[in-house]
Amino acid sequence: EEELVESGGGLVQPGGSLRLSCVGSGISFTNYWVNWVRLAPGRGLEWVANIKDDGSETYYVDSLRGRFTISRDNAKKSASLQMNSLRDEDTAIYYCATGAGWLINQWGQGTQVTVSS
């Protein structure tokens, strides 16, 4: 079964850091761009970042560049999102997602990140 599984979410204080992970199984993970997309309470979907299949290119939404870093380890069929200097407004469900090129057609179940004191 094709599956993406996220982990690493949780409760963190403002200014803190979290590292999210995404592991792919049953899919040709190494052939796909990996995206992180978030859904904040009362807001819509927001694309966060993506990374090319070989890790040679990364892109970010402008508002998060510098605080968030995406990476991948194809040997482990995994990708990560390092999130620093977290703010209340970063509270969201974070989804790992892949697909053909930049088209997203497969999503993980998401991991909840809550930033609160």
Partner 1 sequence: IVLTQSPGTLSLSPGERATLSCRASQSVPKNYLAWFQQKPGQTPRLLIHGASHRAPGIPDRFSGSGSGTDFTLTISRLEPEDFAVFYCQQYAASPITFGGGTKVEI
- If binding is defined by CB under 8 A, does position 109 make contact with partner 1? yes
What residues numbered 9-38 form the site for partner 1, per CB under 8 A?
35, 37
Tell me the two tokens of residue 105.
């057609």
- If binding is defined by CB under 8 A, does position 47 make contact with partner 1? yes
Cβ proximity to partner 1, 19 vs 52, nearer residue: 52
- If binding is defined by CB under 8 A, does position 68 make contact with partner 1? no
- If binding is defined by CB under 8 A, does position 51 make contact with partner 1? no
- If binding is defined by CB under 8 A, does position 98 make contact with partner 1? no
Sequence-distant (6+) residues with CB within 8 A of 91 are: 40, 41, 113, 114, 115, 116
- If binding is defined by CB under 8 A, does position 1 make contact with partner 1? no
What is the full DSSP assignment across 16-84? --EEEEEEEESS-GGGSEEEEEEE-TTS-EEEEEEE-TTSS-EEE-TTTBTTEEEEEEGGGTEEEEEE-
Positions in the binding site for partner 1 (CB under 8 A): 35, 37, 39, 44-47, 50, 59-62, 95, 99, 101-105, 107-110
